[in-house]
Amino acid sequence: MLEELLRILRAGGTHRVADLARALDTTPALVEMMLEELARRGYVRPVAACPEECASCPLADQCIPAQPGKVWVLAEG
């Protein structure tokens, strides 16, 4: 199932967890777990809503869309 998920991700594009769950005939919770597994193995990378570098940003308080849900990207290379 992990391999199938990776295959879908490698085809590119933007995916919602719910859509991936439908494509794999499983639940969003399981897709999320698989993404965490792939992140542990370095295949995908979780994107911090506000990157660590923003912690020291004097404008962090004003940052409007600070929490747009969880986001992952396929690691390059």
Partner 1 sequence: MNRPALQETTVLPEVREETVLVALAGQPNVGKSTLFNLLTGLHQHVGNWPGKTVERKEGLFTYGGVSYRLVDLPGTYSLTANSPEEVIAREFILQEQPDVVIAVVDAATLERSLYLVAELLALPAPVVVALNMMDVARQEGMEIEPEVLQAALGVPVVPMIATRGEGIQALLETVARVARGEVPYSPRLPQVREDHRPVLEELERWIEGYVPTPYPQDWVALKLLEGDPEVTRMVREALPPERWERAHALLRAHDDAQVAVASGRYEWIGRMVRAAVRRPRVGQIGLTERLDRWATHPIFGLAILAFILGAVFWLTYTVGSPLQDLLETYVVGTLAEGIRALLTPIAPEWLVALLAEGVVGGVGAVLTFLPILVLFFAALAFLEDVGYMARAAYVMDSVMHLMGLHGKSFLPLFLGFGCNVPAILGTRVIESHRARLLTILLAPLVPCTARLAVIAFLAPAFFGRAALAVSWGLILLSILVLAATGAILNRVLFQGRRSAFIMELPLYHLPNWRTIGLSVWQRSLSFIRKAGTVILTVSVVIWALSTLPGGEVEGSYLAQVGRWLEPVGRLAGMDWRLTVALLSSFIAKENSIATLGVLFRAGEEGLTDLLASVYSPAVGLAYLVVQTLFVPCVATVGVIRQETNSWRWTLFNTGLLLVVSFLAGIGVYQAARLIG
* Interface with partner 1 in residues 18-77 (CB under 8 A): 18, 20, 24-30, 32-35, 37, 40-41, 44, 47-51, 53-54, 57, 59-76
Cα–Cα distance for residue pair 3/51, rounded to 1 Å: 29
Angle ∠(57,64,75) on CA atoms, nearest 5? 70
Q: How far is the CB of 39 from partner 1 (least distance, A)?
A: 10
Cα–Cα distance for residue pair 20/4, rounded to 1 Å: 10
Q: How far is the CB of 55 from partner 1 (least distance, A)?
A: 10
Burial of 53 (0-12, 13-18, 19+ CB in 10 A): exposed
Total residues at interface with partner 1 (CB under 8 A): 57
List contacts with partner 1 (CB under 8 A).
Answer: 1-3, 6, 8-18, 20, 24-30, 32-35, 37, 40-41, 44, 47-51, 53-54, 57, 59-76
